[in-house]
């Protein structure tokens, strides 16, 4: 691998690699890390978080909580959070949230429920990512939130509201599961009676809601889930969240997908540690998708391993798969489809359009650069592998989207070298990604 960075260039050249083999210790899950940071801050008592992800998105959350007066000590390698018992020390703050959806959405809900004088803003792309459905749900309970610029999008201003929870709270489920997560985590702070949240439409990314419910339970709040359409938060008097003492953060299952796919594409064995068959993360289902494509997959309590493929041709097989439950890991399948026999069609991916970039459009454009035939719509992408591999002279563009950079690294197992532009964007969730990838990628001729 070679890389360059100056005022005019910022790229990394990869491959072509002949095989993949090795063991990767995964960084902590972003989804779990940002949820437990907020829950620890709201709880009574002190929580020691082990294995917390150290990356841009979690730094955004930690910095915001520190600005709000929450005690966070990382001097001994763990992250020790002194909870504020449901009352934030500072009732006024200006908070920069970068492009971290898992930070701005639950924090917006918590601050709106608790009340105060707060401003939340981020990078330009954050101001293009919708938050209106969450704000509508919060306004239903009396929160006071105004848009600084465009209706339905950050930046936001939050003021003191008169919170009431005596009516059913409705939230759309088909835009982002993070809206429901935000309401679920914040409403226990004011649930003097049982609170019902009703989901309008189909709830996407159910496994992410499952993560939220399981983590809330670790902090002492048990939510009743009625068929993923209604959620009942129990009544309480005072702050219901209690620190669990020590909490271990699982490895990131979305990040595991790149290494597992490498094992399937390039022989393996490749093993990831820190996540396994007992994971609370839905993206472990990515391993099942690889298995359907013909990969040889094994798993233990805290590891997953892939050893090549079990098909007559020795190649992955194209499949059609509903990816509603694994939207992030589905991006890895789209690139793995370059190496499959026949087309691969991924459906249930409408949420791609409101992520760090419009991932459907970005994926289509960059896969076409590799020579693939790609069709797409509002909720699907179909990839037919190239009859003749190409490598774009200008490189693969990443759109400041960490997952674009990571999943297209897999193209380096093709017959031609691949240039990834702006590789530094992986710092959002996996700062050391390319170093870890380089350790398993074998036989470069570049």
Residues 365-394: pLDDT tens digits?
999 999 999 999 999 999 999 999 999 999
Tell me, yes or no, whether 78 and 148 share the same domain.
yes
Among 57, 252, 283, 328, the active-site one is 328
Q: What's the pLDDT at 356? A: 86
**Across 210-225, average pLDDT:** 97
Q: Which of 195, 219, 248 is the last residue of a domain?
A: 248
Q: Are residues 230 and 312 in the same domain?
A: no
Looking at the fold, whether 363 and 277 belong to one and the same domain comes out as yes
Verify that 220 and 270 share a domain, yes or no: no
- What's the pLDDT at 446? 40
pLDDT in tens, 158-180: 999 999 998 999 999 888 889 99
C-alpha–C-alpha distance, residues 239 and 353, integer Å: 37
Phi, psi of 298 (to 5 degrees): -130, 155
pLDDT tens track for 16-55: 999 999 999 999 999 999 999 999 999 999 999 999 999 9
Boundary of a domain, candidates 248, 270, 290: 248
CA distance linking residue 171 with residue 393, whole number of Å: 45
| 201 and 69 housed in the same domain | yes
Helix (H) or strand (E) holding 136: helix 132-140
| pLDDT of res. 443 | 73
The model's confidence at residue 153, banded by pLDDT at 50, 70 and 90, is very high
Q: Which residues of 369-380 are buried (b: 16+ CB within 10 A; e: fewer)?
A: bbbbebebeebb
If asked whether residues 274 and 314 sit together in one domain, one would say yes
Please report the beta strands in 251-379, taking only residues with DSSP state E, as ranges in sequence order.
Answer: 267-273, 295-299, 303-309, 316-317, 320-322, 340-341, 344-347, 373-376
Q: Which helix (H) or strand (E) holds 117?
A: strand 117-121
pLDDT-above-90 percentage for the chain? 90
Query: Is residue 230 located within the same domain as residue 318?
Result: no
Question: Where in the sequence is the domain holding 321, given as residue range(s)?
Answer: 2-28+250-442
Q: Tell which residue, 332, 325, 359, 310, has the closest CA to residue 256.
A: 332
Question: Can the peptide bond before residue 330 be classed as cis, meaning omega within 30 degrees of 0?
Answer: no
pLDDT at position 125, please? Answer: 92
Q: Which of 248, 277, 301 is the last residue of a domain?
A: 248
CA 327 to chain centre: 9
**Averaged pLDDT, 283-287:** 95
What's the confidence (pLDDT) of residue 413?
97
pLDDT at 204 over 90: no
Give the separation between CA 8 and CA 281, rounded to whole angstroms: 39
Residue 14: HSE in the Cβ half-sphere, 13 Å Cα cutoff = 33
Instruction: For the chain, give the number of residues.
Output: 446
In this prediction, residue 445 has a pLDDT band, given cuts at 50, 70 and 90, of very low
Cβ count near 422 (within 10 Å): 20
d(C-alpha 111, C-alpha 142), whole Å: 13
Q: What is the dihedral of CA 177, 38, 189, 243, to 10 degrees?
A: 120
> Do 173 and 211 share a domain, yes or no?
yes
Q: Name the domain count of the chain.
A: 2
Does pLDDT of 6 surpass 50? no
Assign 2 a pLDDT band (cuts: 50, 70, 90).
Answer: low
Regarding whether 57 and 19 lie in a shared domain, the answer is no
How far is it, in rounded angstroms, from Cα 342 to Cα 117?
Answer: 56
pLDDT at 7 over 50: no
Using alpha carbons, select from 332, 303, 284, 349 the residue that is nearest to residue 433.
Answer: 332
**424: closest CA among 16, 147, 15, 56?**
56
User: Which H helix or E strand runs over 4?
Assistant: strand 2-5
pLDDT at 441: 96
Domain holding 14: CATH number? Answer: 3.65.10.10
What is the C-alpha to C-alpha distance for residues 213 and 211, in angstroms, rounded to an integer? 6
Residue 76 annotated to the active site: no
Question: Quick one: pLDDT at residue 442?
Answer: 83
The DSSP call for residue 312 is T
Cα angle, residue 430 at apex, residues 424 and 433 outer, rounded to 5°: 70
256 and 212 housed in the same domain? no
334 pLDDT above the threshold of 80: yes
Chain-centroid distance of CA 374 in Å reads: 25
Domain identity same for 291 and 232: no
pTM for the model stands at 0.91
Q: Are residues 266 and 312 in the same domain?
A: yes
Beta pairing partners, 384: 373
The average pLDDT across 88-110 equals: 96
Place of tokens 């959620």: 231
């Amino acid at each position: 691998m070679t890389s360059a960075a100056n005022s005019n260039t910022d790229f990394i050249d990869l491959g072509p690699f002949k095989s993949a083999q090795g063991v990767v210790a995964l960084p902590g899950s972003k989804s779990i890390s940002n949820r437990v940071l907020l829950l620890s801050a709201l709880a009574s008592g002190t929580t020691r978080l082990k294995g917390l992800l150290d990356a841009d998105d979690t730094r955004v959350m930690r910095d915001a909580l520190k600005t709000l007066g929450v005690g966070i000590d990382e001097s001994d390698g763990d992250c020790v959070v002194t909870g504020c018992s449901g009352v934030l020390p500072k009732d006024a703050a200006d908070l920069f949230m970068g492009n971290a959806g898992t930070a701005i959405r639950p924090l917006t809900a918590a601050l709106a429920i608790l009340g105060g004088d707060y401003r939340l803003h981020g990078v330009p792309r954050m101001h293009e990512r919708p938050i209106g459905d969450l704000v509508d749900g919060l306004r239903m309970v009396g929160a006071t939130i105004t848009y600084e610029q465009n209706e339905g999008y950050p930046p936001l201003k939050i003021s003191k509201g008169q919170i009431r929870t005596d009516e059913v709270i409705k939230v759309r489920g088909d835009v982002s599961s993070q809206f429901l997560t935000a309401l679920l985590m914040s409403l226990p702070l004011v649930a003097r009676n049982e609170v019902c949240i009703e989901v309008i439409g189909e709830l996407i990314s159910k496994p992410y809601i499952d993560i939220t419910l399981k983590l809330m339970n670790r902090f002492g709040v048990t939510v009743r889930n009625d068929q993923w359409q209604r959620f009942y938060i129990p009544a309480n008097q005072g702050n219901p969240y209690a620190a669990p003492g020590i909490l271990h953060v699982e490895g990131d299952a979305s990040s595991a997908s790149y290494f597992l796919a490498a094992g399937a594409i390039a022989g393996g064995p490749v093993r990831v540690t820190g996540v396994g068959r007992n994971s609370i993360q839905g993206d472990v289902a990515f391993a099942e998708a690889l298995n359907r494509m013909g990969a040889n997959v094994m798993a233990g309590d805290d590891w997953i391993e892939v050893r090549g493929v079990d098909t007559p041709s020795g190649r992955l097989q194209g499949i059609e798969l509903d990816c509603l439950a694994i939207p992030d890991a589905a991006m890895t399948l789209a690139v793995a489809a370059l190496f499959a026999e026949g087309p691969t069609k991924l459906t249930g991916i409408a949420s791609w359009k409101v992520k760090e970039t419009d991932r459907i459009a970005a994926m289509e454009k960059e896969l076409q650069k590799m020579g693939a035939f790609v069709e797409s719509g509002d909720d699907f992408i179909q990839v037919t592998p190239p009859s003749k591999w190409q490598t774009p002279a200008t490189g693969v563009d990443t759109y400041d989207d960490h997952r674009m950079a990571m999943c297209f690294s897999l193209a380096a197992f093709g017959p031609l070298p691949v240039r990834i532009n702006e590789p530094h964007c992986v710092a959002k969730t996996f700062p050391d990604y390319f170093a870890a990838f380089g350790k398993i990628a074998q036989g470069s001729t570049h």
